[in-house]
Chain A
Amino acid sequence: MPEVIPDDSVGLVTPQTFHCDKPLTLRSGRVLNQYDLVYETYGELNADKSNAILICHALSGDQHAAGYNSMDETKPGWWDNAIGPGKPIDTNRFFVVALNNLGGCSGSTGPTSIDPETGKLYGPDFPIVAVRDWVASQAQLANHLGVDCWAAVVGGSLGGMQVLRWSIQYPERLKHAVVVASAPKLSAQNIAFNEVARQAIAKDPDFHDGNYLEHNTIPKVGLTQARMLGHLTYLSEDAMRQKFGRDLREGKLNYSFAPEFQVESYLHYQGEKFSTRFDANTYMLMTKALDYFDPAADYDHDLVKCLSESKCGFLVVSFTTDWRFSPERSKEIVNALMEADKNVSYACIDSDGGHDAFLLDNPRYHAVLSAYMNRVADQLEAKS
């Protein structure tokens, strides 16, 4: 609980809801006739509506990117270290929009919502959405806010994939793209990790083919396992060695199968915490969106041709110990952008944070992000 809201915080924020009744035809062919998107905004939209920044969230993120929703909240939004007055994404200069994606479980229409056509919970019947569907729905939100062109679209991991999608789907509607710890598509290893996570959920007896809420239960065990596996892939070996080593919970071996090493109880804690706050169907759906993402597929699998569509400037950032979305994957994006003759800068940040580094407060990472975003703001302010 923040006794006092820090000066560099966006402060107390209230989520808002955008109801869209314009039907959205999804990549799968199914149609969502109407949907809600929950979003938060920080900072002020300027007179010509040119200073808006869209924040795209990753697998388990939501609309609460910065500040506090109430004084009872123990922690601020998930990217509070980067968004706020004087921070890299400076709310004194930008109007920042963060939303919960379609299919999410933090208020936007998703598996835990009521299907207005049947009056029942969507549950597992909620259509599988693709990254391009998210981007199309985000464009509707932009229309609603009166934003014709984002000053920048910013995202890490799965969020970075949305940024790439924006650059080729709506090239006229963003000036800059910031793609952090991301990839042009998942590798076989990435897909395999996702499938193990999905199977852990699907095989939980409480899953009931996704209809668990009708049975007044949740697949807690499966979702816990899925998160434990996921969490493991977000950390680097070095960070785990430093944080846990082979430390024991009780200082001695008990010759039992209960968690004895600190690293085991840490993973259990993370998994269980997640399993009570996150919806299992949403988790299944988000991992599918990750697996399906492959924008170059529509361009003869030629990423250069694909990114040739874009018109914005790019900042691409990776982290040395990220093995889930390694620096080489970011470099693929950078190389394709250079071959397509686009404006791009790339930094590979030395960090022991693994994939999670994109959420951490690393001085060099934030210096790079600040330098780029300040440039974006300078350009805007020079024009007006």
Chain B
Amino acid sequence: MSPTNLQNLRPDLAIIQQWIQPDSQVLDLGCGEGMLLSYLKEHKNVRGYGLEINPDKITACIANGVNVVEQDLNNGLYNYKDNSIDTVVMTQALQAVQRPDELLDEMLRVGDEAIVTFPNFGHWRTRMYLALKGRMPMSETLPHEWYNTPNIHLCTVTDFEELCAQKKIRILSKTVVDALHQEHWAIRLWPSLLGEFAIYHLTRRS
């Protein structure tokens, strides 16, 4: 079912939707069941497409009336022209693609703006896990073993900002939140240490 109000929307998507302009065009990479696009279509008259490779999620998108295209993000966005989309969104998939740096370039080649979310590997609990147990950190956010995890390129908030600086990508805004996707004054003070999820709004526009 499509979410009819903000309360039903996944917390990270509720934050993201504020950054998307009404009547704009959105490309959602790894769109899942199309909840964000469905919400944006209903409430902001946003046109868009979701890219997804999971068969059940593709079927769910179709059932939700969301435009979904089966496409592997590891092949890039070759079928989209430069600056053809207002905002390219990717939630919780950056760490799972083969080349996050190249995909980030692709997102900002195709889109005027990009929104990216990822789990912060620099969270204090992750740091403690490695330091004290001497094992690859696992948590509710990162439930997989090191050998079968789809999260092959985990990074910290600091790593990500360093990559953006190298690539001359401008950070329009960022929100770092806890596991429940809530902001807190302490997280704002030490995002790299206390934030569990990072949400970035990016552009190459000067």
A and B from one complex: yes
B53's nearest neighbour on chain A, judged by CB, is A348
CA distance A345 to B34 in the complex (A): 12
B72's nearest neighbour on chain A, judged by CB, is A348
Report yes or no: B69 in contact with A334, Cβ–Cβ below 8 A.
yes
Report yes or no: A345 in contact with B62, Cβ–Cβ below 8 A.
yes
Q: Which residues of chain A from 342 to 374 have any CB-CB distance to chain B below 8 Å in the complex?
A: 343-348, 350, 364, 367-368, 371-372, 374
Query: Of B55, B68, B69, which contacts A364 at CB under 8 A?
Result: B55
CA distance A341 to B84 in the complex (A): 10
Q: Which residues of chain B from 16 to 64 have any CB-CB distance to chain A below 8 Å in the complex?
A: 25, 47, 49, 55, 58-63
Q: Known: A347-B70, A367-B59, A371-B59. Is A331-B79 also a contact (CB below 8 A)?
A: yes
**B67 interface contact, C-beta 8 A:** yes
Report yes or no: A371 in contact with B63, Cβ–Cβ below 8 A.
yes
**A302 interface contact, C-beta 8 A:** no
Q: Which residues of chain B from 60 to 111 have any CB-CB distance to chain A below 8 Å in the complex?
A: 60-63, 65-71, 79-81, 84
Report yes or no: B63 in contact with A345, Cβ–Cβ below 8 A.
no
Report yes or no: A338 in contact with B59, Cβ–Cβ below 8 A.
no
Report yes or no: B69 in contact with A375, Cβ–Cβ below 8 A.
no
B60's nearest neighbour on chain A, judged by CB, is A371
Neighbouring A residues of B69 by C-beta, 8 Å: 334, 338, 344-346
Neighbouring B residues of A347 by C-beta, 8 Å: 55, 58-59, 62, 70
Report yes or no: A315 in contact with B79, Cβ–Cβ below 8 A.
no
CA distance A343 to B50 in the complex (A): 11
**What total of chain B residues lie within 8 Å of the partner, measured CB to CB?**
21
How close is B68's CB to chain A, nearest CB, in angstroms? 5
**A339 interface contact, C-beta 8 A:** yes
Neighbouring B residues of A350 by C-beta, 8 Å: 55
Best-surrounded residue of A335, A345, A348, A350 (most CB of chain B within 10 A)? A345
Query: Of A331, A346, A375, which contacts B68 at CB under 8 A?
Result: A346
Neighbouring A residues of B67 by C-beta, 8 Å: 343-345
Report yes or no: B79 in contact with A335, Cβ–Cβ below 8 A.
yes
Neighbouring B residues of A339 by C-beta, 8 Å: 81, 84
Report yes or no: A346 in contact with B59, Cβ–Cβ below 8 A.
no
Q: Known: A344-B67, A344-B69, A345-B68. Is A368-B79 also a contact (CB below 8 A)?
A: no
**What total of chain A residues lie within 8 Å of the partner, measured CB to CB?**
21
Give the number of A-B contacts (CB < 8 Å). 49
- The secondary structure that dominates the B interface is mixed
CA distance A271 to B194 in the complex (A): 70
Neighbouring A residues of B71 by C-beta, 8 Å: 346
Neighbouring A residues of B81 by C-beta, 8 Å: 339
Report yes or no: A372 in contact with B62, Cβ–Cβ below 8 A.
yes
Neighbouring B residues of A341 by C-beta, 8 Å: 25, 47
Best-surrounded residue of B47, B49, B66, B69 (most CB of chain A within 10 A)? B69
A379's nearest neighbour on chain B, judged by CB, is B65
Neighbouring A residues of B62 by C-beta, 8 Å: 315, 345, 347, 368, 371-372, 375
Report yes or no: B65 in contact with A368, Cβ–Cβ below 8 A.
no
Neighbouring B residues of A375 by C-beta, 8 Å: 62-63, 65
A341's nearest neighbour on chain B, judged by CB, is B47
How close is A127's CB to chain B, nearest CB, in angstroms? 39
Neighbouring A residues of B47 by C-beta, 8 Å: 341
The 0/1 profile, CB within 8 Å of A marked 1, for residues 105-128 of chain B is: 000000000000000000000000
Report yes or no: B58 in contact with A368, Cβ–Cβ below 8 A.
yes
Neighbouring B residues of A335 by C-beta, 8 Å: 79
Neighbouring A residues of B58 by C-beta, 8 Å: 345, 347, 368
CA distance A350 to B70 in the complex (A): 12
CA distance A348 to B62 in the complex (A): 13
How close is B147's CB to chain A, nearest CB, in angstroms? 25
How close is A373's CB to chain B, nearest CB, in angstroms? 10
Neighbouring A residues of B63 by C-beta, 8 Å: 371, 374-375
Report yes or no: B59 in contact with A368, Cβ–Cβ below 8 A.
yes
Report yes or no: A345 in contact with B55, Cβ–Cβ below 8 A.
no
Neighbouring B residues of A345 by C-beta, 8 Å: 58, 61-62, 66-69
A335's nearest neighbour on chain B, judged by CB, is B79
A332's nearest neighbour on chain B, judged by CB, is B79
CA distance A317 to B85 in the complex (A): 24
CA distance A228 to B30 in the complex (A): 43
CA distance A350 to B56 in the complex (A): 13
Report yes or no: A346 in contact with B70, Cβ–Cβ below 8 A.
yes
Query: Of B60, B61, B65, B79, which contacts A338 at CB under 8 A?
Result: B79
B78's nearest neighbour on chain A, judged by CB, is A335
A-B contact sample (9 more), CB < 8 A, given A341-B25, A346-B68, A375-B65 = A338-B49, A338-B79, A339-B81, A344-B67, A345-B69, A346-B69, A347-B55, A367-B59, A372-B62
29 contacts between A and B (CB under 8 A): A331-B79, A334-B69, A335-B79, A338-B49, A338-B69, A338-B79, A338-B80, A339-B81, A339-B84, A343-B67, A344-B49, A344-B67, A344-B69, A345-B61, A345-B66, A345-B67, A345-B69, A347-B55, A347-B59, A347-B62, A348-B70, A350-B55, A367-B59, A368-B58, A368-B59, A371-B59, A371-B60, A371-B63, A375-B65
Question: Which 4 pairs between the two chains have the least Cβ-Cβ distance?
Answer: A371-B62, A371-B63, A335-B79, A346-B69
